[in-house]
């Protein structure tokens, strides 16, 4: 009975081994490298004095000195850690919330469906408006690059002094690579041109439509048939005659006979009254 009580007696002893946070057991104040005291007083056959035979290999541990803990002996063996100092989760550890939960999106949702719809269509329409403007200006700017510039337009005009053409005479000038007939008509010729029954002609046109001033007839000198240059003061009608295929034009430049389909073309022209000039173009 006394022996049992003795065995159960609890004593307060400092732990000889503790576990580091890394799981490695550390036993302080134990030095496995220490030599057995030589000649400890008896000889019972366990060998000569020297390193202890139960010293573990160096890969299994060792002893070091530490300023705080003194002599530290470590043995690198895999032992289960006796205490959890910190929560350790492996990648396969399940999170606390296993169930997938949809976040709360109500903060991002539109307050009013109708306002949202109106704003969306407004943005779409505004984008379309800007795109249409950009497309329109792109096309017009591109087309304007093909238009003649101001200097070219200025060069494309021709001025003629009207005083240099006496009454009853023709003048032929070159305008944009084509001949232009200018006829200073007499009063008789004007009378003749205006009294013709123009409604019966092939290309019915009044003489008033073809001239700005009755005595000045200005037309392109290109036959409307195949582009020859007619001869002035010739033909059956006192006007122009095309020698290529025999088209006859009258004193107003209208086709009267022959293969040409239409009257001689009238270009854009104007009179400069101050300087008595005719400006073609």
Partner 1 sequence: MGALANAFYNSVVKRNSVYVTSIFAGAFAFGVGFDTAITSFWDSWNKGKQWKDIRDKYVQDADS
**φ, ψ dihedrals at 19, nearest 5°:** -110, 125
Interface stretch with partner 1, choices 10-18, 122-130, 175-183, 191-199 (CB under 8 A)? 122-130
State the maximum Cα–Cα separation within the chain, in Å, rounded to a whole number: 169
- Which member of 51, 125, 227, 261 binds partner 1 (CB under 8 A)? 125
**φ, ψ dihedrals at 272, nearest 5°:** -95, 95
Interface stretch with partner 1, choices 38-46, 60-68, 95-103, 133-141 (CB under 8 A)? 133-141
Interface stretch with partner 1, choices 109-117, 155-163, 169-177, 240-248 (CB under 8 A)? 109-117
Closer residue to partner 1 in complex, CB, 136/245: 136
Closer residue to partner 1 in complex, CB, 33/131: 131
Decide: is 136 part of the binding site for partner 1 (CB under 8 A). yes
Residues 40, 107, 225, 245: which is the catalytic one? Answer: 245
Decide: is 137 part of the binding site for partner 1 (CB under 8 A). yes
Decide: is 110 part of the binding site for partner 1 (CB under 8 A). no
Taking the CA of residue 3 as centre, how many other CA atoms within 13 Å lie in the half-sphere pointing to its CB? 0
Please tell me the distance from the alpha carbon of residue 29 to that of residue 19, in angstroms, as a whole number. Answer: 15
> 245 an active-site residue?
yes
Q: Is 30 helix (H, G, I), strand (E, B) or coil?
A: coil
Decide: is 129 part of the binding site for partner 1 (CB under 8 A). yes
DSSP symbols for 199-264: GGSSS---HHHH-SBTTEEEEE---TTT---PEES-STTEEEEETTTTEEEETTS-EEESS--SPP
Give the binding-site size for partner 1 (rule: CB under 8 A). Answer: 16
Interacting residues toward partner 1 by CB under 8 A = 112, 114-115, 117-119, 121-122, 125, 128-130, 132-133, 136-137
């Amino acid at each position: 009975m006394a022996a049992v009580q003795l065995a159960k007696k609890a004593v307060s002893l400092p732990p000889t081994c503790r576990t580091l946070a890394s799981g490695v057991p550390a036993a302080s104040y134990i030095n496995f490298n220490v030599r057995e005291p030589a000649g400890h007083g008896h000889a019972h056959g366990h060998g000569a004095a020297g390193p202890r035979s139960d010293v573990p290999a160096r890969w299994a541990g060792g002893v070091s000195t530490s300023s705080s803990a003194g002599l530290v002996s470590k043995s690198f063996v895999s032992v289960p850690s006796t205490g959890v100092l910190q929560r350790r989760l492996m990648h396969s550890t399940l999170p606390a919330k296993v169930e997938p939960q949809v976040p709360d999106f109500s903060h991002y949702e539109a307050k009013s469906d109708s306002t949202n719809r109106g704003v969306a269509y407004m943005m779409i329409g505004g984008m379309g408006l800007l795109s249409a403007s950009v497309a329109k200006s792109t096309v017009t700017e591109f087309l304007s690059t093909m238009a003649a510039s101001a200097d070219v337009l200025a060069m494309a005009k021709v001025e003629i002094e009207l005083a240099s053409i006496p009454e009853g005479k023709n003048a032929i000038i070159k305008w944009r690579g084509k001949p232009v007939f200018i006829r200073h008509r007499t009063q008789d010729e004007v009378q003749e041109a205006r009294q013709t029954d123009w409604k019966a002609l092939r290309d019915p046109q009044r003489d008033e439509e073809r001239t700005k001033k009755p005595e000045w007839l200005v037309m392109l000198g290109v036959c409307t048939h195949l582009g020859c240059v007619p001869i002035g003061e010739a033909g059956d009608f006192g006007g122009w005659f095309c020698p290529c295929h025999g088209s006859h034009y009258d004193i107003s430049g209208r086709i009267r006979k022959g293969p040409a389909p239409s009257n001689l073309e009238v270009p854009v022209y104007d009179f400069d009254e101050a300087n008595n000039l005719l400006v073609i173009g």
